[in-house]
């Protein structure tokens, strides 16, 4: 029987002719050290399937291991050149009819090998359709992984007009270049129309003609690589064995590239570079007849540089070699046809030398640098190799950076000088004409005082203002520079001093990503340096669906005296089906323990499941991780999104209504108990009120949080950066957690998590609040019918603070001006149990906006709970009718209303 083969451990054959071992084998605890691959996106573990031929090493996900938009596996998971720990492949997921939720179940996998080829075969199906995908590595073409999918109509069932496979490169983690090899004038390169995987119509509008793609790896990951995906054949196979070629399609968005086929040849049209309206109108009539099959074969190549030419040179093996030299090794070269169609792109060596292959013809070359230097050159290629004349880009302005210092530098252009963009990969990846920045692109540089700090930056000639800071607990220094082309200068700027002390508080950011996440290419070492430069003390690594321990890298960089690193995970769902037809959003769990042998390090399975089921897997009580609901509302006022859990509630498909009780529709799904575990979807511990810079999202989530508090569902308010890249601010927002010994050397994780669970915490983008009601602080209980509220505000001189608000039971009862360093004392009387929340806000000025663009100075303290009747128990005040203004109209900034 076919699926009994799943029980086989695998097959290994040695080829005497080549002295190379072909491997097709399931990963077990005993062979994992030999078969797992390394790199920031390497996820394969025990139960997955390994393929090797001595040149390429691949891992195929087991059927039970979920993919980013699917509750199942069976797709390509990891792919590298053997011996290099630089995997950046995310996943490959098959889809029917361009619909994200329309996956064909994979029932099992098996391993095969013969004298020349090693294979892993994934098979499955659904009513009326059978699917088989064969992944193969051979000895004849050792640099290529062959992927062949056959989709066969076995009977009735739903109509199928198209089939494709999605390669994920979330938020441009890999940079997609699309090429039409059969007609290069139709290539789009790095510029793509859009296709929304949630909308079939939008997907169709995003279709382009492309038969090859290059996915360029992250600029900061060494050694560099690129993946080339070449379409070999696409055909309809009849029951008698005859075949017809079918039209292919390609769609690229910000986070995915889909290649696929239509179910049959078009009756009319189909002769252009891609399907038009005439062809698309025929799709509703398409289907496979019984016994017919769609066959699509691709070959995937791994290039040895982070550029397009490392792949296209192999695709043009007989083309002449074009070589040359630049006077700048940090430039990038783009090559187009004479009419401007993108053909390839190359990354020069450190000495500026480069080479590439293009077929005979006329071309244009464009060499660019991140500081704005540019040269263009037209050239013609004949049958013989071509050596181009040297290309002079000229000298930039060079600014040498301080050594041995911990500081965050922000560069702002003045007058007609634009802000610089350091770390740009210069590929100019765009979707719908919108630039998708790479992970390292920013006008900032973070220095942590170690040997890997960048020694200098290159700048276009012009005028600049440079700010130096170490985060909101420190002051701000600044200087102005005027730099000329070719000038070399050393940056001399004072070290920012501490603006205020934080005794009894430790600053934590519990939502930090790096290239270890599938949607980031920012190396962990640079993220750790940015975190240290911004002055927070506790970093929780929460890579997407991957448990990763950052502590070895902290030790390697010598940062252990400046920050504590903890291991967590961000559980991230996108599959719209199963028990959560609208996804269960994103949430963090920490601390977690990494299992180095397990798939994704042991991250929990979540696609298509309810939140309460995943919470049961994570455990409850002592030793269980703290679970935090992330960015539970969309960035825009009324947007949803996969990660915005309260915008759809996973099951209800409607947003949480903060003005209605938890027992009412649609809120009630949150409190439905699992019949076995008794857990609810609401049984997480904390909520990100502050995530990144968006103020509207804070106000929307604050309304949800206050609504829960009023109904007795206490969740800890948290502020986190959710940073993935250099252009986002590490360690801001952050959460200050009350800790008696707030030193790095004396850090006690048990005490830290006890304080966090108790809500003894303040979320902030800059100011630090001191709040006491009598002797009770945030997260603590005040007993009595009246007491004195004491509030003081600490902030660095460059952090604006001008407004104080006091909430009582979800109503703003005090809204008044306040300045940094000021104190307020106010008598509060209570007739019933309730809670008090204090927040401050500032109006951004020019300096703040230059250093932290998009942010608003803001701090909010967790509630102080009032036991007014002194019975030793806290009773929630309940959701009043009508609901308080903050809940009814959360986007209004000032809603002062005296409470009863």
Percentage of residues of the chain with pLDDT beyond 90? 84
The reported pLDDT for the residue numbered 208 is 87
The reported pLDDT for the residue numbered 9 is 42
Cα distance between residue 844 and residue 855, in whole Å? 8
The kind and range of the H/E element at 357 are strand 353-357
Tell me the pLDDT tens digit for each residue of 730-758: 999 999 999 999 999 999 999 999 999 99
Cα distance between residue 291 and residue 305, in whole Å? 44
Point out the least confidently predicted range of 88-97, 105-114, 516-525, 793-802: 88-97
DSSP string over 654-706: S---TTS-TTSTTGGGGGPPPTTT---TT--SEEEEEETT-HHHHHHHHHHHH
Cα distance between residue 79 and residue 74, in whole Å? 14
Q: Taking the CA atoms of the chain, what radius of gyration do you get in angstroms?
A: 29
SS (H, E, C) 274-291: CCCHHHHCCHHHCCCCCC
The reported pLDDT for the residue numbered 202 is 63
The reported pLDDT for the residue numbered 96 is 84
Instruction: Say if residues 547 and 592 touch (Cβ distance below 8 Å).
Output: yes
Tell me the pLDDT tens digit for each residue of 291-337: 999 999 999 999 999 999 999 999 999 999 999 999 999 999 999 99
758 DSSP 8-state letter: T
Mean pLDDT of 436-459: 97
Instruction: Give the confidence band of 267 by pLDDT, cuts at 50, 70, 90.
Output: confident
Query: Residue 87 above 50 pLDDT?
Result: yes
Instruction: Give the confidence band of 636 by pLDDT, cuts at 50, 70, 90.
Output: low
Percentage of residues of the chain with pLDDT beyond 70? 94
Provide the pairing of β-strand 49-52 with 20-26.
antiparallel
What is the token pair recorded at 167? Answer: 């390669």
**Positive or negative CA dihedral for 12, 16, 17, 19?**
positive
* 397/275: higher pLDDT: 397
Instruction: Say if residues 507 and 734 touch (Cβ distance below 8 Å).
Output: yes
Tell me the pLDDT tens digit for each residue of 837-880: 999 999 999 999 999 999 999 999 999 999 999 999 999 999 99
Mean pLDDT of 110-121: 96
* 284/179: higher pLDDT: 179
Burial 676-711 (b: 16+ CB within 10 A, else e): eeebbbbbbbbbbbbbbbbbbbbbbbbbbbbbbbbb
Mean pLDDT of 202-221: 87
Cα distance between residue 81 and residue 225, in whole Å? 9
Tell me the pLDDT tens digit for each residue of 179-202: 999 999 999 999 998 766 556 566
Q: CA-CA distances (angstroms) from residue 546 to 31, 550, 553?
A: 21, 12, 17
The reported pLDDT for the residue numbered 642 is 65
Query: Residue 351 above 80 pLDDT?
Result: yes
Query: Residue 402 above 90 pLDDT?
Result: yes
Point out the least confidently predicted range of 8-17, 393-402, 762-771: 8-17
Q: How many residues does the chain have?
A: 900
Helices (H), 758-899: 846-851, 885-888
CA 841 to chain centre: 29
* 3-class state of residue 202 by DSSP: helix
Tell me the pLDDT tens digit for each residue of 677-722: 999 999 999 999 999 898 999 999 999 999 999 999 999 999 999 9
Q: CA-CA distances (angstroms) from residue 693 to 401, 407, 690, 857?
A: 28, 21, 8, 10
Mean pLDDT of 149-170: 91
Instruction: Give the confidence band of 1 by pLDDT, cuts at 50, 70, 90.
Output: very low
Number of helices (H) and strands (E) in the chain: give both, helices first: 11, 54
**Full-model pTM:** 0.95
Q: CA-CA distances (angstroms) from residue 257 to 229, 274, 528, 669, 686?
A: 10, 16, 31, 35, 35
* 3-class state of residue 646 by DSSP: helix
Cα distance between residue 791 and residue 814, in whole Å? 12
Instruction: Give the confidence band of 566 by pLDDT, cuts at 50, 70, 90.
Output: very high
91: exposed, middle or buried (C-beta count within 10 Å: 0-12, 13-18, 19+)?
buried
Tell me the pLDDT tens digit for each residue of 15-59: 444 456 899 999 999 999 999 999 999 999 999 999 999 999 999
Q: In what order do the strands lie in the sheet with 20-26?
A: 10-15, 20-26, 49-52, 56-60, 76-81
Compute how many other C-beta atoms are within 10 angstroms of the C-beta atom of residue 154: 15
């Amino acid at each position: 029987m076919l699926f009994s083969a799943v029980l086989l451990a695998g097959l290994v054959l040695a080829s005497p002719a080549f002295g190379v071992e072909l491997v097709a084998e399931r990963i077990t605890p005993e062979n994992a050290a030999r078969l797992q691959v390394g790199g920031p996106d390497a996820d394969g573990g025990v139960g997955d399937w390994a393929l090797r031929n001595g040149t390429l090493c691949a891992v195929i996900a087991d059927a039970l291991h979920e993919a980013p938009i699917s509750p199942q596996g069976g797709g390509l998971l990891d792919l590298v050149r053997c011996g290099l720990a630089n995997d950046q492949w995310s996943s490959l997921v098959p889809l029917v009819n361009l619909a994200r939720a329309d996956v064909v179940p994979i029932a099992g996998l098996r391993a095969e090998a013969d004298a020349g080829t090693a294979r892993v075969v994934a098979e499955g199906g659904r009513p009326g359709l059978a699917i088989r995908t064969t992944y193969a590595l051979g000895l004849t073409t050792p640099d290529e992984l062959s992927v062949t999918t056959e989709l066969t109509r076995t009977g009735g069932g739903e109509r199928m007009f198209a089939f494709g496979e999605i390669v994920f490169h979330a938020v441009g983690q890999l940079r997609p270049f699309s090429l039409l090899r059969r007609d290069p004038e139709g290539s789009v390169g790095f510029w793509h129309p859009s296709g929304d995987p949630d909308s079939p119509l939008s997907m169709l509008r995003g279709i382009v003609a492309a038969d090859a793609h290059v996915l360029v790896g992250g600029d900061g990951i060494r050694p560099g690589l690129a993946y080339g995906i070449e379409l070999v054949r696409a055909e309809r196979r009849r029951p008698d064995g005859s075949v017809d070629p079918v039209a292919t399609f390609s769609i690229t968005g910000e986070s995915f590239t889909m290649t696929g086929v239509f179910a049959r040849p078009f009756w009319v049209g189909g002769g252009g570079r891609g399907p038009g309206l005439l062809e698309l109108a025929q799709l509703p009539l398409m289907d496979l007849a019984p016994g017919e099959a769609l066959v699509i074969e691709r070959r995937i190549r791994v290039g040895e540089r982070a550029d397009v030419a490392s792949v296209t040179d192999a695709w043009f093996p007989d083309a002449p070699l074009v070589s040359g030299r630049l006077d700048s090794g940090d430039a990038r070269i783009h090559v187009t046809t004479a009419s401007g169609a993108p053909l390839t792109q190359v990354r020069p060596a450190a000495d500026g030398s480069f080479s590439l292959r293009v077929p005979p013809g006329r071309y244009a070359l464009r060499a660019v640098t991140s500081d704005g230097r540019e040269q263009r050159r037209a050239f013609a290629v004949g049958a013989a190799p071509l050596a181009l004349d040297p290309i002079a880009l000229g000298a930039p302005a060079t600014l040498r950076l301080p050594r041995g210092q911990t500081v965050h530098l922000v560069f702002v252009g003045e007058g007609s000088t634009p802000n610089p963009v350091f770390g740009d990969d210069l590929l100019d990846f765009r979707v719908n004409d919108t630039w998708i920045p790479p992970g390292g692109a920013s006008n900032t540089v973070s220095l942590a005082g170690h040997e890997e700090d960048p020694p200098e930056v290159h700048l276009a000639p012009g005028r600049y203002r440079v700010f130096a800071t170490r985060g909101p607990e420190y002051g701000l220094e600044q200087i102005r520079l005027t730099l000329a082309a070719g000038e070399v200068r050393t940056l001399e700027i004072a070290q920012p001093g501490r603006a205020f002390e934080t005794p009894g508080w430790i600053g934590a950011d519990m939502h930090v990503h790096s290239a270890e996440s599938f949607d980031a290419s920012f190396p962990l070492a640079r993220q750790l340096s940015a975190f240290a430069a911004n002055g927070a003390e506790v970093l929780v690594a929460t890579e997407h669906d991957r448990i990763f321990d950052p502590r070895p890298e902290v030790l390697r960089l010598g940062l252990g005296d400046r920050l504590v690193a903890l291991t967590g995970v961000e559980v991230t769902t996108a599959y719209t089906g199963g028990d959560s037809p609208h996804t269960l959003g994103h949430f963090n769990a920490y601390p977690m323990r990494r299992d180095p042998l397990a798939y994704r390090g042991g991250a929990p399975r979540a696609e298509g499941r309810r939140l309460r089921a995943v919470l049961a897997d994570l455990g409850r009580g002592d030793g269980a991780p703290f679970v935090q609901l992330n960015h539970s509302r969309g960035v825009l006022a009324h947007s949803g999104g996969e990660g915005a859990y309260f915008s759809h509630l996973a099951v209800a498909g409607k947003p949480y209504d903060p003005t209605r009780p938890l027992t009412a529709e649609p809120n009630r799904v949150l409190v439905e108990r699992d019949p076995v575990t008794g857990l609810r979807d609401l049984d997480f511990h904390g909520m990100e009120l502050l995530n990144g810079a968006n103020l509207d999202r804070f106000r929307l989530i604050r309304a949800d949080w206050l609504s829960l508090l009023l109904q007795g569902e206490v969740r800890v308010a948290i502020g986190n950066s959710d940073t993935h890249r250099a252009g986002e601010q590490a360690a801001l927002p952050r959460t200050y957690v009350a800790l008696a010994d707030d030193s790095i050397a004396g850090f006690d994780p048990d005490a830290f998590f006890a304080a966090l669970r108790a809500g003894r915490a303040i979320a902030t983008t800059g100011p630090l609040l001191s709040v006491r009601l009598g002797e009770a602080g945030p997260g603590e209980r005040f007993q009595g019918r009246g007491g004195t509220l004491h509030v003081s505000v600490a902030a660095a001189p460059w952090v604006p603070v001008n407004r104080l608000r006091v909430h009582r039971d979800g109503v703003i009862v005090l809204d008044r001006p306040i300045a940094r360093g000021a104190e307020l004392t106010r008598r509060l009387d209570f007739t019933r149990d309730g809670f008090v929340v204090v927040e401050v806000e500032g109006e951004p000025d020019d300096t703040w906006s230059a250093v932290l663009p998009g942010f608003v100075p803001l701090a909010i303290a967790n509630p102080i709970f009032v036991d007014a009747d002194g019975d030793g128990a806290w009773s929630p005040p309940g959701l009043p009718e009508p609901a308080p203004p903050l809940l009814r109209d959360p986007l209004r900034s000032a809603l002062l209303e005296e409470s009863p």
